[in-house]
Structure 1
Amino acid sequence: MHQSIAKPMGVQLFSFWQIFTKITFFLKLRSDFMLPVNTAYHENFTRGTPDFPFDYHYIDLRHPRYVMPYHYHSAFELLIMRKGELDIALNESNFHLEAGDCLLIQGGIVHGGSPKGNDSLYECLVFSFEQLFDLERPPYAFLRRLSKGSISLRQLIRRQEDPGICQSISVLFDIVKEEKQGRGSLALGQVLNIFGQIESKGCYTLYQDTMPCRYLKHMSKVSELFRYIYDNYQHQINLESLAEVTGLSPKYFCRFFRELTGKRPMEYLNGFRIDCAAALLATSDESVNEIAYACGFVDPCYFAKLFKRYRGISPRSYRNEHLRSKIK
């Protein structure tokens, strides 16, 4: 999938394990198990087991989804960065994570990202509040509102700014990983501890506090809007089709989208297409023109110009840089 770069004999010798690791990485990227990087898909399955409804993932270079494809699910997800760095997008927002940072991903949000280099390590934990708790009971009012989408969490929790919350999240991961008697009760208690801290420290906002009243009734359509973008960006998308998803006229949709993201709709769409193209340049052997078409651009020249504007480098140079980093 990656182009090889010829090197003179004797310039650099690799151990058997180094060669095996690199070949395995390339084969994993080619395997059918990994979904295409430029496709958003809906994960829809039961998390964990009835006795322990947590879905845990340990992700390093050997994992087939080391480069996280765009996807979404109705369950909640916690992500903790253990080593290295990760650039990740959640709907309209982009984040850069370093070791110790945590990410809170609410249900329905389309997300995907790329680690920096080959030595990053992150862990993910996916679960459903409805499976864990009886949300109709008064003590779980905050989780009920969170589950229904009336609360927007602060998505990035930095270790240096909120060490207590990050430490509590790390403890939850340790509980989940250690298969011992009583871990189910410990995990449930730790989930309540984490979200109790989030609520008490005010690491959330109510939509009515951040959006003009005239737009509040359309907030329920936000996740559907971004899923529409991610499911269709390879094709031609116009302003009218985006506005239709939210039930707004094109004129008011532009204002709504600007309030939501700080960007114009087409500006956001082009930025996302460039992100997907960058992922393909780094992980596939398709030509630059083929990648441009696959990401919804009808003019490869315009794609190249836009790519350089967003990334500060041409598509071919970007690919060559990543190829060099892969063979080191």
Structure 2
Amino acid sequence: MERPILTIKQAAKLLQVDPNTIYRWARAGKFPASKIGKEWRVLRSDVIKFLESKKKKNQFLTEAQEAELITALVGRREIPIKFEYLGEGADRYVSIYAPAVGGGSETEIIFDNKEHFLRYFEQKKFNLLDVGCGDGKKAAFFISHITRKASAYSALDISARMLDIAEQTIEISHPNLAFEKFIDDFEFGNIAHTTYYLHRRYQHNNLITFLGNTIGNTLDPHRVLINLRDSMGDEDLLLVGLAFHNPKNIPLVEYNQRSVIEWLWTIPEKIGIKRSDGNIEGIYNKTKRQFEHQLHFGKNWERMYGGSLIRFTKDLGKKDLTKLLVISARGGSAFG
């Protein structure tokens, strides 16, 4: 049970600072502690308010994203992988692979089925809306090798940095193509406001591309597909890329590349987990039939984050068995 009243040492532990720092703040009136006799005491609720007041204006996550992350950490011991693409995570992701425009098995499949796609796009122009755009290279490949009928390229992603990278890709590969970008989270609901806007502005139907196995990294793929369908008109089209692997030949080496592990440290480090606290490993979960990256803690870990106490402790029932934190889950890699 959490204590409502804390000593200075207990408050310092929650805030991950030296107790002497708290004493100094308290004496200077910069910390909400009260002196009772010779001892200092502070309400836990006041410590949380103090922490909230010290947040920087330019947060890595929005308040809504932070709430979603804390809920996932506390409720499911999971980091939604979409947050790994934010900020410098986008640049780390792009460094995993550095192919020419396109590349990879997904684009090979698209190219091998070029004739089938041409039946739909040969005589019609369309607005290409790239959902979960990544670096934009797969969409650029599609426009270059399948059809040049795109009237505009629009990128939609949760990450502002990733949108900037996609914009750079399109500027290089298709400098004369109209470009727009939208920050949105398609897991929360439909994106009809975007598809409607594009249809009205460019007077063409939309082709929504959902490539890079993005759907494999969502919490509820069925719900996401419903969100996308609810965003489409009768003549709009949806192209979804999904990776399948033979369970007898799982490419675990790819999932444990140094660059992949480096990328997946983005969010753990943002919430205060140090690399000395544990290690990240890519595995195939046979029970759930999915790839996962798991962060194994080598010791007990706890920290205040966003006003909540996040704790990962050893399982006292089994010696040396630690709780683990799942980073990527729900059906696939994020870098296929």
TM-score between the two structures when normalised by the length of structure 2: 0.27
Task: Compare relative contact order (CA 8 Å, sep 6+) and give the higher one, 1 or 2.
Answer: 2
Q: Which structure would you say has the larger Rg? A: 2
Structure number with higher helix proportion: 1
TM-score between the two structures when normalised by the length of structure 1: 0.28
